[in-house]
Chains A and B, each alone.
Chain A
Amino acid sequence: MNNQENEINKIEEGLSLKIKSGEITMKPKAYFILKTILITTVSVVLFLFVIYTVSFLIFSLQTSGIWSLPSFDFHDIRILLSSLPWLLIVLSIVLILALEIFAKRIAFVYHRPIMYSLILIIIVVFLASFLISLTSLHSNLFERARNQRLPIVGQWYRNYGTPRIDNIHKASDKERRNSIESFNINKTQEELNPSFSQPIVQ
Chain B
Amino acid sequence: MIILESEQKDEKIALLVQSGQSEFFGILVKRYEEKMRRYAQRFFSDNEDRKDIVQDIFIKAYINIKSFDAERKFSSWLYRIAHNELVNNLKKKNNIFLSLFDFDLDTFFPQSSSEDDPNEKIDKKNMSKLISECLDELPDKYKEPITLYYLEELSYKEIADVMSIPTSTVGIRIQRAKKLMKTIFQKKGYKYE
Contacts and interface: CB of A to CB of B under 8 A. Distances in A.
A19 B29 CA distance: 13
A15 interface: yes
Contacts of B164: 104, 110
B167 A111 contact: yes
B135 interface: no
A5 to B, nearest CB: 10
Given A8-B34, A12-B30, A113 B62 contact: no
Interface residues of A, number: 30
Interface residues of B, number: 38
A115 B108 contact: yes
A149 interface: no
B66 A26 contact: yes
Nearest to A36: B67
| Majority secondary structure of chain B interface residues (helix, strand, loop or mixed) | helix
A76 interface: no
Interface stretch (A27-35, A84-92, A156-164, A167-175): A27-35
Contacts of B26: 12, 15-16
A196 interface: no
Contact of B63 (A14, A20, A24): A24
A116 B167 CA distance: 13
Contact of A113 (B30, B67, B157, B169): B169
A18 interface: yes
A7 B169 contact: no
Interface in B143-159: 157
8 contacts: A7-B37, A12-B30, A19-B62, A25-B63, A26-B18, A26-B62, A26-B66, A110-B165
Given A7-B51, A11-B33, A28-B66, 9 more contacts: A8-B34, A12-B29, A25-B63, A26-B65, A104-B164, A110-B164, A113-B107, A114-B107, A114-B108
